[in-house]
Structures are given as C-alpha cells and as structure tokens.
C-alpha cells in the first residue's frame, strides 16, 4: 500500500460508514484512484469511536506509515470531529466535503421546498457545479435564497459558512482526480460484504480484507497488461493529438481525453485581445449556447489556461484549451500538461525516493532494491527488441557495474548487510552481445497472463461435503469406464471351471453391506455350484 500511495496518494477518500462488529465499531477505509480510474486501497482502520482524538491518532499514524506525505486533497462526509482532526493533523491538505452527502442532507432539511418547487434542485446544483467566479457564486446563491424564501434557514446558513469545502468554484484550483464525492469508499463497503462476515474475529477479519486488497491489485495488473498490449481505436484517425494520447494515456483516461477532443468541433471562438505579444485572450462557447469560457494562451511557452479549470481539477486538458491550441497550429499535447499519474508507464516513471526516511537500514536497502529492479526491468524489456539496443545496454551495464563497485569501496557509511556485498557484480560473466539472435526479439513481451483463481464466494448454491463426495465418486466411475482398453467382442456362456472356485463369492467393490468371514464363504461355496465362463471370440468363428 505504501508504494501505491506514493504513486496515487495525491487524492484520498475517507469514510467510516461500514460497521464491522456486533457492537457497531466503525471500520474506516482510505482509498484513492489509480491511473485506470479504478479504486485503490491505501489503508484501513478499526477505531473504537468517532471523536476528534481518535481521528487525530488515525491520521498521524497513517502519515507515519506513508513517510509523512500529505495528500493534496482529502474527501470526507460532513463530520465535525473528522474535520477538526484534519485541520490539525493535515493542515497542508485541502479538505473537501462529499457533494452527494450534501445533496442528501438538503433533501432531508429542505424536504418541503424540494417537493413544492421542482426547479429548486436544479438551482442548487447550479450553485455547486457550474459557476466559475466567486462573485457570480455569491450572487447566484443570494438569488436562490430570495426566490424560494430561504433567507432564515439555519441549515443553509451553516452550509454557506463552509462553502469553500463543497462549492467547485473554490475547489477547481486544487487537483482532485475529477472526484467530488466519497462514492468510491462507499462502493468498497459493498465489496467488503462479499468477503467479510460479522461473525469473524479481528484476525480473520483482516485476513479476508487482505484478500480483497489482493484481488483489487490483480484487477489493476490485468488493466496494466491490457494497456501495454493493445491500442485504443481512434474515432478520428487523422488526429495527431489523439494518436499521441493513445500511446501515453491508459484506455480509460484516453476515452475521457477523446471526448474533449471531439467537443472542439462544435465551438465558436473569438479573439478578445491580441495586443500583448506574450498572451492572447479568447472567449469560447459551445455553438448554440450563451455560456462563455475565457482562455488565455502564451504562444512562446505553449501555456494555456481556461476559466473552467479542468486541467487543475481533473489533470487533463479541457476541450476549450484544445480548441485554442488547434487554431494556433499546435497539434500535440505540451509536455507540461501530461500528468504522469494518468499514463501507462506511471509505475515505471514514478520512482519513489526514500532518502529522507528515518527508518532502519535493511528496510531502506529493500526499498532501493525494489526501485532499481523496476527501472532495470523496464530498460531490459526495451533493449531486448533489437541487437543495437542490446549492445548499447550491455556496455552501459558493464560500465555501471564498475562504477557501482568503485562507489561501494569508497563509501564511509556502515554496511547494512555485509553478506550481500561479498560477491562483486563486476566479477560476473561478461555478456557477449554478438551471440544475440533476432529470434529473441519476441521474448520481451509476454503473450498471456496466468489466470488467477477466484477467492470470493459467487452466487452459486453452496455444495455440502456429502454431495461433493458423491460427485467425485461418480466422476471416478465414469473415468474408469472410459479408460478401459478396447477388447474384441465376446459372448460369455456359463460352464463349470474349477479354476474359478473360491473367487466368485468375493465382493471387491466399496459398497459391500458387511464383511464376510471365511467360514461363511466356505458354506456358500458348498451350496452353490459356480458357473464356468467360456469365451468365444467372433473373429475366430
């Protein structure tokens, strides 16, 4: 979880609506979103109560485990104790309130207004989402209060005091991974019910929770594999910016970006001010509508900024900025507008640095080893695609090995693990790049993935142990019949044969009613004359 938080921990959601035990102790999940726009788990907690002191301990412990990295944005519900703890422990993080919970509270506190005025909900949503300037927000809010006679409503007054935590006009300048609700945490609560039972003790509870996390990681691995082996189908084949985005973004993010590119076909643009050579100001609006957006463009630095703040909020360029770049003959995405967290190579390029961590030397060396392996595996996979790349990589590795050995000999810090450094990496066998065959070019990419077995119970009817035993017995019987060797067709006729005496009364199968003694077997042989079997082979007749 630490490595995933280092990659995607800029935005987190925290929710404690799930109750684990019979006594109702809250189980909290700290989740975020990965480069495939899927939920990833950063941590979990089982707290005794929901007071500010407990939440303060929780966030301090979480920061300690995550090397002191503060999230840029944290999304929670309207809990006063949680808000107090966040303001003390996470002062550098922007605390945003879940808009979905706020809408539910509005329906509860303003039930009469919602039922009487059908347009109230639309006006309320307009104040939350659509306004781009603070002055316009205040004017629209006051207009809504006067229109529906809500000036004296105490709940709306308290809500307005916290407007910077829920109105997007105040939150668009902070990256939130395009999230404004805690629905990801609550959807994880539904998944928890498939893995966890209220009857589990604490140890079993977290063991099953680890299975849930492992399954989420496996889904992410499959998404990474699919993204690296496939290319999205372009709706506009001739668009260079789409071809560039298809090679960088994951399929989910590319689909979002493609929608923004296609919207540029229906925009009307107007140049407002071009007197300044360093910056051009445009107004842009969707054809047939009156709502305008202001876009500022710097042609020298290829910088573009829109009043909708989509890039600052979601991390991808909006359709307004893409339109302005297009009319200024910029057919690519400027590198400063490509966030690494949304790309296919997010895990490869984002190498977490642990130099400043106050931890033991063995853990520090383990982190360094993990980061270097990730880098070298990526380089090896690329270098194996051609002979020239392999030759260059092999020479660089040999030189790097000598430099590393020289650095290790001259170091002054104590060796955290003296056994590791006994074998010199420069003493290994030299790599003969001339022996590399072109047949190895196809080995750099896997052809398939190992199928993972299911770890969660499905919707099928549970099968008991007795029924399983009967099924296995029937299956073994069918298999034994199928595995018999083919024999020529024979006709069996009874006839006396003394050789078979003493063998026909034995019951070999597992279904005998009771064991038979030797005395009883002898009596049966005297009473009954056993038959003799003649075998007639039709091929001999």
pLDDT in tens, 454-478: 555 554 555 565 566 666 655 555 5
pLDDT at 183 exceeding the cut of 60: yes
**In this prediction, what percent of the chain has a pLDDT beyond 90?**
33
d(CA 191, CA 249): 28
Phi first, then psi: what are they for 446, rounded to 5°?
-70, 150
Please count the helices (runs of H) and the strands (runs of E) in the chain.
20, 11
Average per-residue pLDDT for the chain: 78
Neighbours of 474 (CB within 10 A): 10
d(CA 62, CA 90): 11
CB 250 within 8 A of CB 232: no
Any idea which architecture 2-98+181-217 has in CATH? 2-Layer Sandwich (3.30)
SS3 329: coil
| pLDDT for position 263 | 92
User: To which residue do tokens 């935005």 refer?
Assistant: 11
pLDDT at 441 exceeding the cut of 50: no
| pLDDT for position 366 | 75
Mean pLDDT of 182-186: 81
Nearest one of 189, 184, 144, 186 to 163, comparing CA atoms: 144
pLDDT band at 313 (very low <50, low <70, confident <90, very high): very high
pLDDT at 380 exceeding the cut of 60: yes
Digit-coded pLDDT (tens) for 98-119:
998 888 888 888 888 888 888 8
Helices 361-383/387-409 angle, 10° precision? 160
| pLDDT for position 349 | 60
With vertex at residue 46, the alpha carbon angle to CA 58 and CA 72, rounded to the nearest 5 degrees, is: 40
d(CA 220, CA 252): 12
Model confidence, pTM: 0.65
pLDDT band at 237 (very low <50, low <70, confident <90, very high): confident
pLDDT at 157 exceeding the cut of 70: yes
CB 180 within 8 A of CB 73: no
Mean pLDDT of 168-173: 90
Q: Which residues contact 163 (CB under 8 A, 6 or more apart)?
A: 137, 141, 170
| pLDDT for position 355 | 41
| pLDDT for position 514 | 58
pLDDT band at 186 (very low <50, low <70, confident <90, very high): confident
| pLDDT for position 504 | 38
**In this prediction, what percent of the chain has a pLDDT beyond 70?**
72
Q: Name which of 189-193, 340-344, 392-396 the model is least confident about.
A: 189-193
CB 269 within 8 A of CB 250: no
Phi first, then psi: what are they for 268, rounded to 5°?
-105, 130
pLDDT band at 46 (very low <50, low <70, confident <90, very high): confident
| pLDDT for position 262 | 93
Q: Name which of 71-85, 179-193, 472-486 the model is least confident about.
A: 472-486
Give the DSSP letter string of 105-118. HHHHHTHHHHHH-T
d(CA 520, CA 528): 12
| pLDDT for position 294 | 92
- Which is more confident, 39 or 444? 39
Q: Name which of 22-31, 176-185, 227-236, 491-500 the model is least confident about.
A: 491-500
Digit-coded pLDDT (tens) for 248-280:
999 999 999 999 999 999 999 998 877 777 889
| pLDDT for position 472 | 62
- Which is more confident, 360 or 158? 158
* Domain coordinates in residue numbering, the chain: 2-98+181-217, 100-171, 240-346, 361-408
Q: Name which of 168-182, 183-197, 401-415, 497-511 the model is least confident about.
A: 497-511
| pLDDT for position 337 | 94
The span from the first CA to the last CA of the chain, in angstroms, equals 79
d(CA 307, CA 133): 8
- Which is more confident, 44 or 423? 44
pLDDT at 10 exceeding the cut of 50: yes
Which H, E and C letters describe 420-462, residue by residue? Answer: HHHCCHHHCCCCCHHHCCHHHHHHHCCCCCCCCCCCCCCCCCC
Mean pLDDT of 18-25: 62
DSSP state of 483: T
| pLDDT for position 259 | 94
Q: Which residues contact 172 (CB under 8 A, 6 or more apart)?
A: 132, 308, 309, 310, 312, 313
Which H, E and C letters describe 25-87, residue by residue? Answer: CEEEEEEEECCCCCEEEEEEEECCCCCHHHHHHHHHHHHHHCCCCCCCEEEECCCHHHHHHHH
Mean pLDDT of 33-59: 89
The half-sphere exposure of 362 on its side-chain side, counting CA atoms within 13 A, is 4
pLDDT at 305 exceeding the cut of 90: yes
C-alpha pair distances (Å), 404 with each of 206, 398, 423, 424 = 42, 10, 13, 10
Q: Name which of 47-51, 408-412, 491-495 the model is least confident about.
A: 491-495
């Amino acid at each position: 979880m630490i490595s995933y938080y280092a990659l995607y921990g800029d935005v987190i959601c925290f929710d404690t609506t799930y109750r684990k035990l019979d006594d109702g102790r809250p189980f909290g999940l700290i989740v975020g979103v990965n480069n495939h726009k899927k939920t990833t788990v950063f941590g979990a907690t089982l707290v005794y109560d929901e007071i500010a002191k407990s939440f303060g301990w929780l966030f301090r412990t979480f920061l300690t485990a995550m090397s002191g990295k503060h999230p840029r944005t944290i999304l929670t519900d309207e809990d006063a104790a949680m808000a107090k703890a966040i303001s003390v422990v996470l002062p550098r993080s922007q605390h945003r309130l879940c808009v979905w919970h706020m809408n539910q509270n509005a329906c509860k506190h303003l039930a009469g207004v919602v039922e009487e005025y059908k347009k109230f909900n639309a006006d309320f949503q307009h104040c939350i989402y659509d306004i781009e300037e603070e002055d316009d927000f205040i004017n629209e809010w006051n207009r809504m209060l006067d229109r529906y006679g809500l000036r004296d409503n105490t709940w709306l007054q308290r809500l307005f005091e916290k407007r910077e935590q829920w109105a997007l006009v105040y939150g668009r300048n902070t990256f939130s991974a395009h999230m404004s609700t805690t629905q990801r945490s609550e959807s994880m609560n539904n998944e928890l019910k498939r893995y966890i039972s209220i009857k589990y003790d604490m140890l079993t509870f977290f063991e099953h929770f680890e299975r849930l996390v492992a399954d989420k990681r496996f889904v992410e691995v499959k998404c990474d594999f699919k993204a690296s082996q496939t290319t999205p189908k372009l709706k506009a084949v001739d668009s260079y910016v789409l071809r560039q985005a298809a090679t960088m973004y994951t399929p989910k993010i590319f689909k979002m970006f493609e929608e923004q590119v296609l919207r540029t076909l229906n925009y009307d643009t107007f140049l407002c001010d071009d007197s300044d050579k360093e910056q051009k100001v445009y107004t842009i609006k969707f054809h047939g509508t009156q709502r305008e957006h202001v876009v500022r463009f710097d042609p020298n630095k290829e910088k573009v900024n829109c009043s909708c703040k989509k890039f600052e909020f979601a991390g991808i360029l909006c359709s307004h900025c893409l339109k302005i770049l297009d009319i200024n003959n910029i057919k690519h995405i400027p590198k400063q507008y490509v966030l690494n967290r949304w790309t296919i190579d997010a895990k490869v390029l984002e190498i977490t640095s642990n130099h400043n961590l106050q931890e033991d030397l063995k853990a520090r060396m383990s982190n360094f080893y993990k980061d270097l392996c990730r880098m070298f595996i990526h380089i090896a996979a690329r270098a194996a695609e051609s002979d020239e790349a392999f030759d260059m990589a092999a020479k660089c590795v040999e030189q790097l090995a000598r430099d590393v050995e020289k650095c290790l000999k001259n170091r002054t810090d104590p060796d955290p693990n003296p056994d590791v450094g006994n074998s010199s990496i420069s003493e290994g066998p030299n790599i003969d790049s001339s022996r590399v065959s072109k047949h190895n070019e196809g080995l750099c990419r896997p052809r398939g993935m190992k199928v993972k077995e299911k770890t969660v119970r499905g919707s099928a009817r549970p099968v008991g142990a007795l029924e399983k035993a009967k099924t296995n017995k029937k299956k073994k019987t069918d298999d034994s019949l199928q595995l018999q060797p083919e024999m020529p067709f024979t006709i069996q006729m009874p006839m006396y044969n003394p050789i078979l005496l003493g063998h026909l009364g034995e019951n070999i199968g597992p279904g005998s009613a009771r064991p038979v003694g030797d005395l009883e077997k002898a009596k049966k042989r005297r009473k009954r004359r056993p038959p003799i079997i003649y075998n007639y082979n039709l091929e001999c007749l």
